[in-house]
Amino acid sequence: MSEYSSLTKKHFLSACLIAKNESRYLLEWIAFHQVVGFDHFYIYDNDSTDDTKRILSKLHERGICTYTEWPRKIHGDNPQVLAYRDMIQRFGGETTWVAIIDADEFIVPLSGERVDDILRNNFQNAISVLCNWRVFGSSGQKEDDGRLCVERFTKCSQVDYHSNNHVKSICKPEFVELAFIHNHYMKPGDVLLSDGSPMRPVRDQLTKSPVFGMLRINHYYCKSLAEFMLKRSKGLADYALDHPSAIRSMDMFFDADRNEVDDDLANKLLDKIKQKYVVLQQYC
């Protein structure tokens, strides 16, 4: 019997994020995921020095998110993975499904349904659904012009671009043995790709080729060049601060700045996103 089976779930579909200086993007990320069927957000603050704490504290008061301060000085040299594991341990019993993703990752339904409905109708017996990236480039933008990401960035990589083989997980917390960034160690059960096929090997973080079935993740890794430079200065939360790989190299931008294909699928939700965004702004 599941360790969570006797608990009443507060939420059906949640998202978990560790954030550092993401105040520019948080409301859009939450608004977008509300539009596609997410009903709660577990957000960990990794030493932000911008407006993140104030924004998330206000949303926490409204019950929209669960806000947790997560300073590196307490949580070591890999606060990202440790935050995910804390969420599973402390809050896993509150939600049927949780997507563990980043602030530049947007889960997009491809079948015309919302993400929560896709899970109910197609993945009821799965313990994890793995969604492939579709990496979006800068669309030639050098600066942040203030618009929402889904509005600004509508050019993406070819399907066979190598980074699109990466997956992220929407999982049932009660079946997680140990959380990681991309794909978690799970208890026995069906770990499926977004087209309903099994993941093989089950614990890999890469598919042999991208699978864009009912879901995908729009990965706005680059944004504009100026925004990437700001992102670069924050470092990576899964490395020690003095590790050589803690700072993103410029090669990462040039490799991921893929603009070969026009794709405005997320942009089609723009009116609904803006409506949610305005409400969230009023709360903050």
> Mind listing the domains of the chain with CATH numbers?
11-283 (3.90.550)
Report, as an integer, the average pLDDT of 32-49: 97
CA 184/CA 264 separation, integer angstroms: 30
Place of tokens 């959380």: 179
| Cut 0.85: pTM above it | yes
Greatest CA separation for the chain: 54
What pLDDT score does 234 carry?
66
Which of the residue ranges 71-75, 143-147, 176-180 would you say has the lowest mean pLDDT? 71-75
The DSSP output letter for 74 is H
β-pair partners for 171: 98, 128
Choice between 249 and 206, residue whose per-residue pLDDT is larger: 206
Give percent of the chain with pLDDT exceeding 70. Answer: 92
**Amino acid found at 11:** H
For residue 247, with 0-12 CB atoms within 10 Å meaning exposed, 13-18 middle and 19 or more buried, which class applies? middle
Highest averaged pLDDT of the listed ranges 8-12, 14-18, 249-253: 14-18
β-pair partners for 14: 40, 98
What are the tokens at 107? Answer: 């889960």
**Whole-angstrom distance between the N-terminal and C-terminal Cα of the chain?**
41
Going by pLDDT thresholds of 50, 70 and 90, the confidence category of residue 2 is: very low
Report, as an integer, the average pLDDT of 154-176: 98
Give residue-wise pLDDT tens across range 189-200.
999 999 999 999
